Homo-oligomer: A and B are copies of this chain.
């Protein structure tokens, strides 16, 4: 009665909040999780990580294909455990992605290569397998390539209204910024922030990333505007107290 009923299945472009824990089928080792508790138990807790439901746009390539398939038929609040073979998860291992590079390519950037080290070379992330005379062998396969994995996933929420989506993306990029106020009106997002935050270059970049997500994933929104008060004159004390006195 009066409630919008979402029609299954979910489709590309839908914006959802997920809780999940990713582990290896082999030994059960937890690799990634949105739950702070699970992270602590598994010994992979990090202070820098953000825990809590993660915002994902279906069909955007954020999730492995097997997980997307499983999600499509899920309802809000539902939990599922899915086991994915490598080809539906992070791909098979490709021996061609193990490459030999001159060591100076790393040393030129001040990196002293060691086996096991994770590096970024020519825009690709890889793990150093071994260091020889003037050469390093790097595996550019995804660290989980070739692995069978288990996702324990909960579809926390399907974001429906433009406003819900805007708030979701805002939290994704700016966190739970208590000083930010956001309004969505007539297809316009108005974001009000304290001016001093604009001194942070990271925040300016985060705002652009936020706007870019809105542009791509919330078609109802035609404009994102920032409003910031650079200066506001303090009300004179007399005025303030006389205003108080006048109040009933």
Contact = CB atoms under 8 A, between A and B. Distances in A.
A229 B224 contact: yes
Size class of the contact patch on chain A: 20 to 34
B215 A233 contact: yes
A11 interface: no
A227 B198 CA distance: 12
Interface string A181-224: 00000000001000100110100100110111011000001111
Contacts of A207: 195, 230
Contacts of A215: 231, 233
A22 to B, nearest CB: 33
Contacts of A225: 227-230
Interface of A: 191, 195, 198-199, 201, 204, 207-208, 210-212, 214-215, 221-233
Nearest to A187: B233
A88 B228 CA distance: 43
A195 to B, nearest CB: 7
A31 to B, nearest CB: 35
A227 to B, nearest CB: 5
Closest 9 CB pairs of A and B: A211-B231, A211-B230, A222-B233, A224-B230, A224-B231, A226-B228, A223-B232, A225-B229, A215-B231
Contact of A195 (B208, B222, B230, B231): B208
5 contacts: A195-B208, A199-B204, A208-B230, A214-B231, A227-B227
A202 to B, nearest CB: 11
Contacts of A227: 225-227
Contacts of A228: 225-226, 228
